[in-house]
Structure 1
């Protein structure tokens, strides 16, 4: 699933079959021995380890997860969304549970956390993506959720009951996926599919401008759905910011709180809690607003931060659009669960310095911030290293403005 079948993956017509080519089409793993040793050093018996990778891509991430833990902690448990573990039928549920996949069930995670702590205390390790959902942004680590740190502290507390020197580690892992050749033509074909699927007219020849136009049209549609005026000639970032401000104001009003006193992430947390505890007519509108805000926020400042965009970033844009907007066909459903890359790739894997909770005096929030800092620094350094070596094919970025 990760690398395909040697001898078939490069041979026509077999290389057109995902099962032979490799569903994730990752031909090479750049995982230096020193990085593996760092992860091995904090894994195994006598310690509790929570492995926390970044989450830039669906399906491929799990394949890389399995490759990593097979090398350092083969019996590690892994967290996955409830829709994967429990939503594909009883036989698939049995298969996932046999592989020690833990279902993340919103609002009902106590059993999953308890199993994770117990499993980690046995020295097997637990892997979970602290970013939560996939963002399709390989150069940017989104704000992290606190679950790994919370479970790590609970494991440390229990471990110290029998061993005063017991140690608990949060072991971050990051990777960057790069194409091994020019895949512009394949990306253009995928863009054409997206345009047809969403009924969006192609008005440009260059691929970055076509992708930008798709986003601009989708933003106009979202604004129109809520009767919000949006200037189509303004920069995308400004239009998105204004729409998000208005939708956040409406969501705050719907759940009867002051939007000005909360940051956007706290507003969404409060909204999720309100939906769990409330009932009535307002639920439908609040949920719709929340879902739209979350979808819009998935295109963040990183999209317009640089004057150039890479073919990897264009591929991420297309996959994000397909995941969020293209629905209703078998092809779209298959793409949602096992998105197909535009060409062969290399996975560059690095292990930032693990965070020892046994030697950390800060709060849970501080630990989460520190963990994200280490992950982002490692991703940025890796991207800079690849860029210096000429590893990216780049184009002018139509999202960018000074």
Structure 2
């Protein structure tokens, strides 16, 4: 008989506690986001995360028109899947909770099984009472069925169609089709009882901008990363953008050396990874016997499935080799065209680059582990929240691929509009972008 899965990989349906959910709303708003008025501005106290707000989001710009647009597609007789972008870890659920508290407080939210199930039994009970749905890698059927049933009852379901955080707040990554597929399934289930039943996919975007010049904080975090990864300190007058570029160049050179690729360090970082990625992809496909996969993302998913699958004939050395190849390939693919698309790197983008490096390369210490779960911003911020026109699944047919493509278009368009408004207002602050390629 096969070994039973442990708590981490066992789906347990959420048991939402209305009182706890209502109680956590102001706690989230003050402790996690905005901080305590007056105290958060006092010297020394403004450095304590729990006083200044752990995510340090002082202002929330969520216009009534956008809130009402979202509220209009939530409620009885409708299955609504809320699909925010995913630019930052930890802050994601805090802002998402603030959004749903305004329109659909009993919304169920998808989260990784490591958060819901992986922090002990008491933590699991707490998260399930807060209506979090554990996503079990490689076995999401139970979570999907529960989501559809919950949505059909007139409650919202929130999930991030980009999947894992990529730390790119101005670019929407290719989306996974889960929200569209569940909306289609919910529509079919709802209309079996009510011919007028509706299903919606509701895009939501939020963007974080610094309230003040964050250069000093960015310089300090760059210095920490350089010291932690033993990278030569930047030139005295280097900008955070230049320091980020130098960090990535040094890390790329190390990965090239490990993989046996002869590096041409005169080439820009934007062009150099191609040879290394091709070599790693070929090696990983050979290691797991998946030479017919067409993309690196498919190959990475196949590698994760391979590592999860138990095989008594497989030795630890083979598994470790696959993990090393898969991890390196994933890190390399996380820096994409969004990095070199513009002549300017904003301070927010520089902050995202640094957080991505810390998440991917700074490992092993308590400080690093804490940063992965609760990354700290270098200054106070404003969250700009917008709701593009929701997608009426009941009017669009059952094509999940087309729905997903339209969802991505609406998310990106809304982000572009936010950035256009910021530029008209004279912001955001930035630097010449060393990654930029004509």
Query: What TM-score results when the alignment is normalised by the length of structure 1?
Result: 0.96
User: Aligned partners of 1:42, 1:229: CA distance in 2, in Å?
Assistant: 55
1:250 aligns with: 283
Where does residue 370 of structure 1 map in the other structure? 406
Deviations 1:177-225 (A, max 9, x none): 0001001001101111111111111132312111111111111111122
Deviation at 1:286, TM superposition (A): 2.8
Structure 2: distance between partners of 1:287 and 1:143: 24
1:49-128 equivalences in 2 (<5 Å): 49-128=80-159
- 1:106 and 1:257 mapped to 2: Cα distance? 19
In 1, the alpha carbon distance for the partners of 2:283 and 2:76 equals: 51
Does structure 1 residue 352 correspond to structure 2 residue 377? no
Residue of structure 2 in register with 1:267 after alignment: 299
Q: Describe the SS at the equivalent of 2:179.
A: helix
Equivalents in 2 of 1:267, 1:91: separation in Å?
36
Cα distance, 1:277 vs. partner? 5.3
Name the CA distance, whole Å, in 2 between partners of 1:276 and 1:324: 21
CA-based RMSD: 1.5
Looking at structure 2, the residues matched to 150 and 274 of structure 1 have their Cα atoms a distance apart, in angstroms, of: 25
The equivalences for 1:2-401 within 5 A come to 2-204=33-235, 205-206=237-238, 207-258=240-291, 262-276=294-308, 279=311, 280-281=314-315, 282-361=318-397, 363-401=399-437
SS at match of 2:109: strand
How far the C-alpha of 1:278 sits from its partner, in A, is 7.2
Unaligned runs of 5+ in 1: none
CA distance, structure 2, for counterparts of residue 287 and residue 297 of structure 1: 15
SS at match of 1:9: helix
Runs of 5+ unmatched residues, structure 2 = 1-31
Q: CA deviation at 1:247?
A: 1.1
TM-score (ref. length: structure 2): 0.88
- Give the secondary structure class of the aligned counterpart of 1:237: coil
- CA deviation profile, 1:143-193 (whole Å, cap 9, x unmatched): 111111111111111101101111110101001100010010011011111
What displacement does 1:81 show? 0.8
| Counterpart secondary structure, 1:111 | helix
Q: CA deviation at 1:37?
A: 0.9
CA contact (8 A) 2:55 2:91 kept: yes
CA contact (8 A) 2:161 2:175 kept: yes
Count of residue pairs the alignment pairs up: 401
Write out per-residue CA displacement over residues 257-278 of structure 1, whole angstroms, 9 at most, x where no aligned residue: 446x713333334444444557
